[in-house]
Amino acid sequence: MSSNQVQLLSKIATGDGHGENSPYFDGWKAYENDPFHPTKNLHGVIQMGLAENQLSFDVIQEWVMSNPKASICTLEGVRNFSDIANFQDYHGLPEFRNAVAKFMARTRGNRVRFDPDRIVMSGGATGAHEVTAFCLADPGDAFLVPTPYYPGFDRDLRWRTGVQLVPIICESSNNFKVTEKALEAAFEKARKDNIRVKGVLITNPSNPLGTIMDRETLRTIVRFVNEKSIHLICDEIYAATVFSKPDFTSIAEIIEEDNIDCNRDLIHIVYSLSKDMGLPGFRVGIIYSYNDAVVNCARKMSSFGLVSSQTQHLIASMLSDDEFVERFLAESAKRLAKRYRVFTRGLSQVGINCLKSNAGLFLWMDLRSLLKSQTFEAEMALWRVIINQVKINVSPGSSFHCSEPGWFRVCNANMDDRAVEIALTRIRNFVLQNMEGKAPVKKQCWQSNLRLSFSSRMLDDITMSPHSPIPHSPLVKATT
Ligand SMILES: Cc1ncc(COP(=O)(O)O)c(C=O)c1O
């Protein structure tokens, strides 16, 4: 860009706050150049960096087909076309808000209820985070965020708002749990740096860990924010991806406990249907705040990112169908559990462990033993080898601000069983090759079938998905 152009455009337009120039995005390009296909490109790159839930699409599709009235572009539903196409109220369709509130309660075990009047729409959780940050903080203010965290937060909360994120350093020694000590240390660090802390942002269940927060940890965080008089934003967009015990506990349950003293004006939930229902393209995001002023302001701001009325209409019908919701949630959890089992078993055959988890669309894989040294440089070197030689696109821990090198996030719900087997075979083979000279591992029968392709291309990662700067190739979409 010439200096002339720089002067013509705003700081946001000319800055790199979006993060698209990070090396991780280079991989997008390489992946797009060489996408795996089970018949047309068997040796292509397998996409394991996308936190998409594609395992239960058939259940949703079936419902759509048996409920043509729910779509306004069908013979059965077209009678509602003009009403819905005209609708533009930023409060949203009442039936949409009712259905989402009910679904949020259902995905939290019906142990809490949500007030439809507090449901504010946004363009996905992405939009919800930005709107929440705009409502709670001024440029230069900060939110404390436990590490490792979803890299998109660096864009969603910071880019256009001018807000900062300060890490709450969590460690593998206690399975990356958030402790009071870590909260205090982050707060103190910000204070020393003259940064005003406006809140804590947690993701429960966690992306990238796939773990859920226990009640005691949630209570600790609620006590902390109350003591400091700062906000708590809880990203609960993976609430219904919990596939085994223990059950998920929402912050909504904690603040209703008798023994907790909480100023509810400080509590805000971000939700979306992108992960739980596997509908990221619908851009259904929700801000649920217990603070009236935030609900008010967020609703006004939602004009910049409404959910289309057509989508609201469809989702309202779908989520009002109790029988469907029960079936979908049960089936989705069953399939996610199976994926988790297949993956963890496959990796354990070559001694690779993952953090024990029971939620999410990914695994937090421990490859510390494969690092040449325990440094982030070594992690990047290993990551490039994995992309270029193993040809799977996983995401290095450093992109999640993990404080320890050697961890990688592996998405496992955005592909079919065949791709899973091939990916596992590639990983196991790679690990075995790297173990040569270390402890002997019995050669497996699948090894002989494997041929690694070496590529000189710079490949990548896509940890900031869901909004790739590069369009998905239809080929990739069709196969993963
Ligand atoms: C923790 C977390 N929050 C927010 C998002 C963005 O979700 P949405 O597609 O609803 O914007 C993601 C997507 O990966 C995520 O993992």
Structure tokens at 190: 């910000």
Q: Rounded to whole angstroms, how far apart are CA atoms 109 and 383?
A: 39
Q: Which atom of ligand 1 is nearest to the CA of 203?
A: 1
Q: How far is the CA of 282 from the centre of ligand 1 (A)?
A: 13
Dist. CA 351 → ligand 1 center (Å): 31
Q: Closest ligand 1 atom to the C-alpha of 272?
A: 10
Taking only the tens place, the pLDDT of each residue in 392-416 is 999 999 999 999 999 999 999 999 9
Q: Where are the domains of the chain?
A: 3-58+334-479, 70-324
Question: Is the pTM value of this prediction over 0.85?
Answer: yes
Ligand 1 atom, smallest distance to 238 CA: 1
Nearest CA-CA partner of 308 in 56, 65, 90, 31: 90
Q: What is the mean pLDDT of residues 121-133?
A: 97
Closest residue by Cα to atom 7, ligand 1, is 125
Phi, psi of 164 (to 5 degrees): -110, 160
* Angle at which helices 322-348 and 57-66 cross, to 10°: 160
- 3 state SS of 163: coil
Per residue in 240-265, pLDDT tens? 999 999 999 999 999 999 888 999 99
- What is the separation of C-alpha 120 from the centre of its chain, rounded to a whole number of angstroms? 20
- Find the range with the poorest average confidence among 171-180, 311-320, 401-410, 440-449: 440-449
Evaluate if residue 456 carries a pLDDT over 50.
Answer: no
Does residue 473 surpass a pLDDT of 60?
no
As a dihedral over the C-alpha atoms of residue 12, residue 14, residue 20, residue 23, rounded to 10 degrees, the angle is -130
Task: Indicate whether 232 pLDDT > 60.
Answer: yes
- Angle separating helix axes 215-228 and 180-192, nearest 10 degrees: 30
Q: Report the Cα 273 to chain-centroid distance in Å.
A: 11
Q: What is the pLDDT of residues 260-305, one digit of tens each?
A: 899 999 999 999 999 999 999 999 999 999 999 999 999 999 999 9
In whole angstroms, give the CA distance from residue 187 to residue 198: 10
Instruction: Answer whether 285 contacts ligand 1 (Cβ < 6 A).
Output: yes
Q: Of 17-21, 91-95, 229-233, where does mean pLDDT reach its minimum?
A: 17-21
Buried b (16+ CB within 10 A) or exposed e, 341-360: eebbebbeebebebbebbbb
Atom nearest to 273 CA in ligand 1: 10
Q: How far does residue 60's CA lie from ligand 1's centre (Å)?
A: 20
Closest by Cα among 94, 92, 73 to 82: 73
Say if residue 463's pLDDT is above 50: no
Q: How confident is the model at residue 455 (pLDDT cuts 50, 70, 90)?
A: very low
DSSP state of 369: G
At residue 1, the pLDDT reads: 53
395 lines ligand 1 (CB under 6 A): no
Ligand 1 within 6 A of 210 CB?
Answer: no
> Is the peptide bond prior to 208 cis by the omega test (within 30 degrees of 0)?
yes
The pLDDT, as a whole number, for residue 6 is 54
The residue among 318, 308, 296, 331 whose CA lies nearest residue 99 is 318
**Does the C-beta of 128 come closer than 6 Å to ligand 1?**
no
Mutate which of 156, 158, 272, 277 for ligand 1? The one with the most ligand atoms within 8 Å of its CB, which is: 272
Torsion angle (degrees, nearest 10) of CA 210, 214, 217, 221: 80
Residue 477 is predicted with a pLDDT of 35
Residue 47 sits at φ, ψ, to 5 deg, of -80, 105
- Establish whether residue 276 lines the binding site of ligand 1, counting it when its CB lies within 6 angstroms of any ligand atom: no
- Answer with the residue of higher pLDDT: 63 or 4: 63
Class of domain 70-324 (CATH, top level)? alpha beta
Tens digit of each residue's pLDDT (9 = 90 or more) over 305-363: 999 999 999 999 999 999 999 999 999 999 999 999 999 999 999 999 999 999 999 99
Confidence label for 460 from pLDDT (cuts 50, 70 and 90) = very low
- Per-residue pLDDT tens over the stretch 194-213: 999 999 999 999 999 999 99
Per cent of the chain over pLDDT 90 is 80
Q: Write out the catalytic residue numbers.
A: 150, 235, 237, 275
Options 3.90.1150.10, 3.40.50.2300, 3.40.109.10, 3.30.499.10; which CATH number does 3-58+334-479 get?
A: 3.90.1150.10
Pocket test for ligand 1, best of 203, 236, 274, 284 (most atoms within 8 A of CB): 274
Q: Give the pLDDT score at 454.
A: 28
Q: Is the CB of 125 under 6 A from ligand 1?
A: yes
Ligand 1 contact, 274 CB (< 6 A): yes
Please work out whether the CB of residue 431 comes within 6 Å of at least one atom of ligand 1.
no
Better pLDDT: 450 or 176: 176
User: Taking every pair of C-alpha atoms in the chain, what is the biggest distance, in angstroms?
Assistant: 71
Which residue has a Cα nearest atom 13 of ligand 1?
A: 466
Structure confidence at residue 5 (pLDDT): 54
| The pLDDT of residue 105 | 97
What pLDDT is stored for residue 206 in this prediction? Answer: 98
Pocket perturbation via mutation, ligand 1, pick of 147, 212, 237 by most ligand atoms within 8 A of CB: 237
- Residue 288: name the closest of 424, 112, 408 by CA: 112
Instruction: Please tell me if the CB atom of residue 207 comes closer than 6 angstroms to any atom of ligand 1.
Output: yes
**What CA dihedral angle connects 414, 333, 108 and 411, to 10 degrees?**
-30
Nearest CA to ligand 1 atom 3: 125
303 sits in which H/E element: none
List Cβ neighbours of 51 (8 Å cut-off, separation of 6 or more).
Answer: 207, 275, 360, 361, 362, 411, 413, 414, 465, 466
Tell me: pLDDT of 452 over 90: no
- Whose CA is closest to atom 4 on ligand 1? 125
27: confidence class by pLDDT, cuts 50, 70, 90: low
What residues have CB less than 8 Å from 306, skipping those under 6 apart?
88, 90, 92, 121, 123
Confidence label for 450 from pLDDT (cuts 50, 70 and 90): very low
- DSSP string for 311-340: HHHHHHHHHH-HHHHHHHHHHHHHHHHHHH
pLDDT of residue 19: 76
Give 7's pLDDT tier (boundaries 50, 70, 90): confident
3-state secondary structure of 70: helix
Q: Is 150 in the pocket of ligand 1 (CB under 6 A)?
A: yes
Pick 438 or 469 by higher pLDDT. Answer: 438
Q: Are 468 and 462 in contact (CB under 8 A)?
A: yes
211 C-alpha to center of ligand 1: Å?
Answer: 16
229: left (phi over 0), alpha (psi -120 to 50) or beta: left
Q: Is 107 left (phi over 0), alpha (psi -120 to 50) or beta?
A: alpha
The phi and psi torsions of 166 (rounded to 5 degrees) equal -115, 125
